[in-house]
């Protein structure tokens, strides 16, 4: 029976932790000659711009022996009104899995409903699950453990925040989310996470970072919101800077899923500083995506 990865909670705790362990093995070079995707073709439908997600998935598929088939909206009959149902059913006859980066989460859920092959979420408006898995892998690498680690997320309660909450819950991390009023994360993700870990919704960045092991932020304005001056004004006191991070633990690491709007949600000094692990975090997208592909296509 095919499985999809549309949100972090599509995996259980054991599966999620197994995939992180497997990603670390793949990063170490173990099984570098193993090609579990040989002879398989993976579709990549990208309706939104991408640097890290597109390239890491293409490389992951290639290094596992598969063939990535990149499809932009203009390449598909979806742009001329073909239904998601018809597209999903036809592509299922050609491909072994489909990676989708789109706007509405409803779109990928509808595609997965009609697809006979695994569907992987490469980002929607509500979830960014592949990013979250790489985040937890990075924390484990840098801290040597994940259970009990305290994360402070500062900024918009967006797709990155929703997936980070779910990943923290499965991995046993504590998490503080600091957002302006009205910009809180998805209530469903928060409520489910509360059954598994400690989560606090706050409105003060300083309160969130106290005694934190990890400080995480993302852009205030997502794709399509760049001209939202009102939202930008609401976030002006939510910048991750040197004054803020000194209230966390001395060995706290700083994370950002990139791309960053330097000088807005994070300063150059912090993003390029010694506590920043953003490049390792970006690299780990490659390894976790390999683990996800290997797992879903072996079922």
Catalytic residues: 101, 128, 131, 218, 257, 285
The rounded Cα 234 to chain-centroid distance in angstroms is 24
> Do 17 and 171 contact (CB within 8 A), yes or no?
yes
Beta bridge partners of 266: 240, 262
The Cα 88–Cα 91 span in angstroms is 5
Helices (DSSP H) in 217-298: which residue ranges?
A: 229-234, 242-245, 268-271, 278-296
Integer angstrom CA distances of residue 129 from 104, 143, 294? 15, 21, 16
The rounded Cα 183 to chain-centroid distance in angstroms is 19
Each residue of 91-127: b (16+ CB within 10 Å) or e? bbeebbbbbbbbeebebbbbbbebbebbbbbbbbbbb
Other Cβ atoms less than 10 A from the Cβ of 263: the count is 11
The Cα 263–Cα 2 span in angstroms is 44
- DSSP-derived secondary structure for 47-71: SS--SHHHHHHHHHHHHTT-EEEEE
Residue 276 DSSP code: B
Beta bridge partners of 176: 152, 200
> Do 31 and 25 contact (CB within 8 A), yes or no?
yes
Burial class (CB in 10 A: 0-12, 13-18, 19+), 227: exposed
């Amino acid at each position: 029976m095919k499985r999809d990865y549309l949100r972090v909670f599509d995996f259980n705790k054991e599966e999620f932790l197994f995939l992180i362990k497997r990603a670390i093995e793949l990063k170490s070079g173990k099984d570098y000659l193993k090609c579990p995707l040989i002879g398989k073709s993976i579709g990549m439908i990208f309706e939104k711009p991408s640097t890290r997600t597109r390239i890491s998935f293409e490389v992951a598929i290639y290094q596992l022996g598969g063939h990535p088939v990149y499809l932009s909206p203009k390449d598909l009959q979806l742009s001329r009104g073909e239904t998601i149902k018809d597209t999903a059913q036809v592509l299922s006859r050609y491909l072994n899995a489909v990676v989708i980066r789109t706007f509405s989460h409803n779109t990928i859920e509808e595609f997965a409903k009609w697809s006979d092959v695994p569907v992987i979420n490469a980002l929607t408006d509500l979830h960014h699950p592949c990013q979250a898995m790489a985040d937890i892998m990075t924390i484990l690498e840098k801290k040597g453990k994940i259970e009990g680690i305290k994360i402070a997320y500062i900024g918009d309660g967006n797709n990155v925040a929703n997936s980070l909450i779910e990943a923290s819950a499965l991995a046993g991390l504590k998490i503080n989310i600091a957002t302006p009023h009205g910009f809180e994360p998805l209530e469903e993700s928060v409520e489910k996470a509360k059954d598994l870990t400690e989560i606090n919704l706050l409105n003060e960045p300083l309160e969130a970072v106290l005694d934190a092991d990890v400080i995480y932020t993302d852009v205030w304005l997502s794709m399509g919101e760049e001209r939202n001056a009102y939202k930008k004004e609401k976030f002006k006191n939510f910048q991750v800077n040197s004054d803020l991070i000194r209230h966390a633990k001395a060995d706290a690491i700083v994370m950002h899923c990139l791309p960053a709007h330097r000088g807005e949600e994070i300063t150059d000094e912090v993003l390029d500083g010694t506590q920043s692990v953003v490049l390792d975090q970006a690299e780990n997208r490659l390894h976790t995506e390999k683990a996800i592909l290997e797992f879903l296509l072996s079922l």
